[in-house]
Every structure is written in structure tokens, then in C-alpha cells.
Amino acid sequence: MTAPPPVRSKGAGGVRARQASPRALAIAGGVVLAIVIAIVLGVVLSGGGGGGSGVVNSSDLDGLPPTGSQSWAGSLPGAAEANALFKGVPQHGLTLGDPKAKTEMEMFIDVQCPVCQDYEVNHLSSVVKKYIAKGKLQLDLKPWAFIGEQSTTGRLGVIAAADQNKAYEYTKVLYDNQGAESSGWLTGRQMAIIAASVNGLDLAQWRDDVNSSASQSIASDVDTLAKQKNVQGTPTMFVGCKGGKLQSAMPPGKYVPADVEQALSATSCG
């Protein structure tokens, strides 16, 4: 495996532009935001459960099993490992782990982020086995979108899988098969093939949920939370005692996976 990028993803290009005046930015940002929301909602809401204008169309499911399985002929690499890693671990929506766990971690990701891919594939399994599967930690997944258009549409697949309590299997299969950032790899068909590699995932329901206004609402809530917490890149983790204020578990602007487990081991919640 090639070495991961040295810093967390910071969006397309990875470099901040020089600042314009706050008033000009506010006006321009409002106009752009309104246009983006209108486009996204138009695409998502028109999809419903039908024919050919959603993020995932009915034709994207052609040739796929009605229920996902790691055993079907076109199942993606890593599907067996993804399904095995989370088997028996409680999931509720975008939350993984025992509801009685006293420690909580929020994890902001972008489906196109190559550094998120490295963390998911090479480091998250240790956290799952040492903390989550043992009832010590509850993990809240926050699928953010800031790299590009396919981040916005692609994260809806994660959210739709969460409706069937399969978000973590879906996300791991996605990262195990991630294409190059902003290359156009995460099409509706590819999203559907990922879903078809997750054991027990009802593909017709998943497609409808991808294209639903409810999934878009959850995505918007993640965006709001990321802004409130001043999240600047992915992956970003916050750790703390449940019900209390969560603290950053990784130095800003740096990608040091060991810091996450260090923060977890140092957190004492009684």
C-alpha cells in the first residue's frame, strides 16, 4: 500500500485562497449556497423510488441481488472483512456501539478523502476491537461533504445504509475500493455495487433512501455541526465522556492516527 498523504484533506486543491472582504464573501456565499441547495434538492427529491433522475436510479440496480451479500459474484474486494468487522456490534443509524458506553467519539469523514481511506482501512479496526466491541466506546459517524460534487451525492449512500443500520459496513467497503479524488468514480452504479456487497442490505429500500429528502436533511445537519465545530479537514475526531464536551483527538492540520487511541486511553469517564 502506498504511503498516506501527509495531511488531512482540506477540499479540492488543498490550498486556501486569499481572503476577500467579509461582506462580498457573505453575498457571494449566499448566492452560491442557494444555487447548490436548489440543484441538490432537485436531483435528490426527483429520484424518489423510480426511473432515471435520482442520485441512484432503478437502472443502477440492474443485475444486482435484491439483498446485499458478500457472496454474490460481483461483490467488491474487502466485503467479507467489512461485514465480519462489525458483525454483532450494535448499530443505530450513524452510531456504532453499546448505548451504555460512557465514552463517545465523533468522526467527520468525506467519502472521497484518501486520508479517511487510510484511517478506515488501517486504523479504525483497532478502535473497533479494543473499545467499541467491548462496550467502552460509542462512535458517531459524520459524513461531511467538502471535496467535490461526488462527496455531496456519495455520502447519501452512507446515510441510506444507516437507515438499515449498515452504515459502517457500507463505508468500509467504499473505502476499500475508493477511486482517485474528484475522478468521477463514485457514480450511482458504483454506489449500488457497494451496497450490494453489504450483507442484508435491501437495495430497493436503500435506493429510495438515497434519493429521499430525509437523507438530505441528515446531510445538512452534519454540515451545520461541522461549521459549529470549525472542522477544517477530514478525518477529524472528537473524543470525550458522553454528555460532556468532546475534545479534538488529533492536532489541527496533522494526521497522526496514534493520537486517536492515545486520546481514547486517556479519557476516563468513570
**136: pLDDT strictly greater than 50:** yes
Give CA–CA dist 240/238, Å, rounded.
7
List all residues 6 or more positions away from 215 whose beta carbon is below 8 Å from its beta carbon. Answer: 44, 156, 159, 160, 163, 209
Residue recorded with cell 452510531: 95
**1: pLDDT strictly greater than 90:** no
Confidence of residue 72 (pLDDT cuts 50, 70, 90): very high
Residue 24's pLDDT is what? 40
**Percent of residues, the chain, with pLDDT higher than 70:** 80
Contact present, 220 and 78 (Cβ < 8 Å): no
Residue recorded with cell 473524543: 239
Confidence of residue 11 (pLDDT cuts 50, 70, 90): low
**187: pLDDT strictly greater than 80:** yes
Taking the CB of residue 24, how many other CB atoms lie within 10 A of it? Answer: 10
Give the single-character DSSP code of 130.
Answer: I
27-31, 203-207, 213-217, range with the lowest pLDDT: 27-31
Residue 38's pLDDT is what? 43
Residue recorded with cell 426511473: 51
pLDDT digits (tens, 9 = 90+) for 90-111: 999 999 999 999 999 999 999 9
**255: pLDDT strictly greater than 80:** yes
What CATH fold (topology level) applies to the domain 22-48+56-266?
Answer: Glutaredoxin (3.40.30)
Give CA–CA dist 157/170, Å, rounded.
8
